């Protein structure tokens, strides 16, 4: 028994299991934030605000000047007429020579008017019966009146059968309805300020007394104020 006990040796002590090495994990990375553009946006808004204020002030100043110097249309009236020739017998042409005295009034107290490239002609039943005549440039002072007396016509002008027959009929009747037309460009001037050019179109309807064979000054049977479009 003793021999058996001596033969049985105690088992060798077991070494503890090796510890697992724990790997170090990197710290969590914070999300990257893009730099804000508050500075650029603020500068852009300030610039837009300055532009808006400038335009508002400029518009207010322009409106104030316009209300102070507000220009009114010039007025035109035919006050005299003379017929030197009106021959409608050479169909399809007519030969005319006329003179009209036109008075124009500038009603503005602070605004003067410059007329450029003015032309005048006469029409009958919406058909032109005289070639256009160039008028000299005209300066119209404030609250002033200017008279124009252009001679219109001379020479043969082609005309439709309606115009020829109408003129012969009206001449025999003793009353002819004509339209004097002025067109061109005008500019307003208020102090040192000059505007750009505006188109002006003036229509003056007149009724003249006409007897066959009589030339020279003729009576105006009707001459309402002219219509002015600008």
Cβ neighbours around 84 below 10 Å, total? 14
On whether the CB atoms of residues 184 and 117 are closer than 8 A, the answer is: yes
Which pLDDT score is estimated for 214?
78
Which pLDDT score is estimated for 19?
53
Question: For the whole model, what pTM was predicted?
Answer: 0.69
SS3 call for 59? helix
Q: What is the pLDDT of residues 84-140, one digit of tens each?
A: 988 877 778 888 899 999 999 999 988 999 998 899 999 999 999 999 999 999 998
To which residue do tokens 């042409």 refer? Answer: 93
Which pLDDT score is estimated for 34?
54
Which pLDDT score is estimated for 2?
46
Look at residue 208 and tell me whether its pLDDT is greater than 60: yes
Element at 10 (helix H, strand E): none
Q: 23: which 2 tokens? A: 């790997």
What is the mean predicted confidence (pLDDT) over 197-209? 94
Split at pLDDT 50, 70, 90, the class of 1 is very low
Which pLDDT score is estimated for 69?
58
């Amino acid at each position: 028994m003793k021999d058996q006990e001596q033969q049985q040796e105690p088992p060798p002590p077991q070494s503890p299991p090796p510890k697992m090495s724990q790997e170090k994990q990197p710290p969590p990375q914070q999300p990257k934030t893009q730099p804000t553009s508050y500075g650029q946006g603020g500068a852009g808004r300030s610039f837009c605000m300055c532009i808006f204020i400038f335009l508002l002030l400029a518009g207010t100043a322009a409106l104030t000047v316009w209300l102070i110097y507000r220009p009114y249309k010039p007025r035109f009236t035919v006050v005299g007429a003379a017929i030197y020739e009106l021959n409608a017998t050479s169909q399809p042409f007519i030969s005319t020579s006329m003179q009209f005295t036109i008075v124009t009034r500038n009603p503005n107290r602070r605004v003067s008017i410059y007329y450029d490239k003015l032309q005048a002609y006469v029409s009958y039943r919406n058909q032109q019966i005289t070639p256009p005549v160039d008028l000299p440039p005209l300066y119209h002072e404030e609250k002033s009146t200017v008279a124009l007396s252009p001679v219109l016509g001379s020479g043969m002008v082609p005309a439709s059968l309606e115009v020829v027959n109408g003129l012969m009929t009206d001449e025999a009747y003793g009353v002819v309805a004509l339209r004097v037309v002025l067109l061109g460009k005008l500019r307003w001037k208020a102090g040192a300020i000059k505007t750009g050019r505006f188109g002006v179109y003036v229509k003056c309807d007149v009724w003249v007394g006409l007897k066959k064979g009589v030339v020279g000054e003729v009576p105006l049977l009707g001459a309402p104020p002219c219509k002015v479009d600008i």
